[in-house]
Structure 1
Amino acid sequence: MKKGGNFYIFFLAFSLSAFAVVGHAQTPTDSVPKDPGGIIVYTIQNLSFGAFTRGNNGGTISISPSGARVATGDIIPLSLGYQFYYAIFDVESPPGNIISILYGPPVILNGSNGGSITLNIGGSDPTTPFINYATPPNRTQINIGGALTIGPIAAAPPGNYSGTFFLTFNQE
Structure 2
Amino acid sequence: MGIRGTNYKRAALRRLAFAAAAASAFAGHPAYAANQTGTATSVVVRPNTLVKSNDLDFGTLISGPTAGTATISPTTGARTTTGGVTAVGATAERAVFQGTGGFLLITVTGDDSVTLTRAGGGTMTASLARAITTSGGGVTLLGSSTTLLPSGVQTYYVGGTLTVPANQTPGDYSGTFTLTVNYF
- Common topology (TM > 0.5): yes
Aligned partner of 2:111 among 101, 104, 113: 104
Which residue type is aligned with residue 156 of structure 2? Answer: I
Whichever residue aligns with residue 91 of structure 1, its letter is G
* Contact 2:50–2:97 (Cα < 8 Å) also in 1: yes
| CA displacement 1:65-105 (0-9 Å, x = unmatched) | 211111111111122xx6111111000114x6432321314
Aligned to 1:160: 172
Aligned length: 132
More helix by share: 2
**RMSD, matched Cα:** 2.4
CA gap of 1:73–1:50, structure 2 versus 1, over 3 A, is same
Instruction: Write out the 4+ residue segments of structure 1 that deviate beyond 6 Å after TM superposition.
Output: none
Residue segments in structure 2 that go unaligned for 5+ positions in a row: 1-41, 134-139
Offset of 1:55 from its aligned partner? 0.7
Q: Which structure 2 residues correspond to residues 78-117 of structure 1 after superposition, within 5 A?
A: 78-79=88-89, 83-94=91-102, 97-117=104-124
Task: Indicate the residue corresponding to 2:165 in structure 1.
Answer: 151
Closer/same/farther in 2, CA of residues 43 and 114 from structure 1, 3 Å limit: same
Shift of 1:26: 2.9
What runs of 5+ residues in structure 1 fail to find an aligned partner? 1-24, 29-33
Relative to the length of structure 2, the TM-score reads: 0.62
Match of residue 85 from structure 2: 75
Identity of aligned residues (%): 28
In structure 1, the residue matched to 2:27 is none
Structure showing greater Rg: 2
| Structure with the higher strand share, 1 or 2 | 1
TM-score by length of structure 1 reads: 0.66
Contact 2:84 2:166 in 1 (8 A): no
Determine the C-alpha separation between the residues in 1 that align with 2:88 and 2:107: 34
| Paired position in structure 2 for 1:7 | none
CA–CA separation in structure 2 for the residues paired with 1:27 and 1:87: 20
C-alpha distance in 2, partners of 1:93/1:74?
A: 44
Distance in 1 between the 2:156 and 2:114 partners? 21
Equivalent runs, 1:112-123 vs 2, <5 Å = 112-123=119-130
1 or 2 for the larger relative contact order (CA 8 Å, sep ≥6)?
Answer: 1
